[in-house]
Amino acid sequence: MKLVSQRVHEGVWIEKSVRLGENVVIEAGCVIGAGSIIGHNCVLRPRTWIGHGCVIGHGTVFEGDCTVGDRTLIHAQCHITKGTIIEEDVFIAPMYVGANDAIMVHLRREKTPFILDAPIIRRGARIAVGVTVLPGVTIGEEAKVGAGAVVTHDCQPFGCYLGVPARWVCEVPEDERLTR
């Protein structure tokens, strides 16, 4: 007898050769592309779109209205905030956290409207372990963000960023860039 299962809501589209771990929750309007792997204890809130050939690590939570491009790897225990756009060929290490609300309007919406301002992570970007990305930030194409960084401003394409707050330190070397 199997004691655990996936909870897949109606209105979900799962393409062929997708592997789901145990205790996965997939809410209405989600799409998972062919050949993707969703680890144990993941949550995909409404309208999360995962591309083809993606790997989503154990315990990762998508808060909804998120898009993940093809061939992207998001490691374990990541928080993908509502509205996040992650393009193709992105790597995100464990314990990533994204934010989408600069003024934290929780229980104050009658006074201040919530304005969704989620991060955008462009093609081929690499984000190391324990990185936090604040609302409205774009991580540029093939940019690289070092461990523990707090990203408060946009990262330019092909730039390496380190620190708290994250600062540009150099260009991504040519031999580390993806070929097209």
| pTM of structure | 0.93
At 104 the pLDDT is 84
At 164 the pLDDT is 98
pLDDT digits (tens), the chain, 180 positions: 343 456 677 789 999 999 999 999 999 999 999 999 999 999 999 999 999 999 999 999 999 999 999 999 999 999 999 999 999 999 999 999 999 998 887 788 788 888 889 999 999 999 999 999 999 999 999 999 999 999 999 999 999 999 999 999 999 999 999 975
What is the β-pairing status of strands 73-74 and 144-145?
unpaired
Contact call for residues 89 and 72 (beta carbons, < 8 A): yes
Which own/partner contact pairs does 173-177 have at CB distance under 8 Å and 24+ positions apart? Answer: 176/144, 177/124, 177/142
Please state, in angstroms and rounded to a whole number, the distance separating the CA atoms of residues 32 and 44: 10
Instruction: From 66, 44, 41, 68, select the one nearest 55 (Cα to Cα).
Output: 68
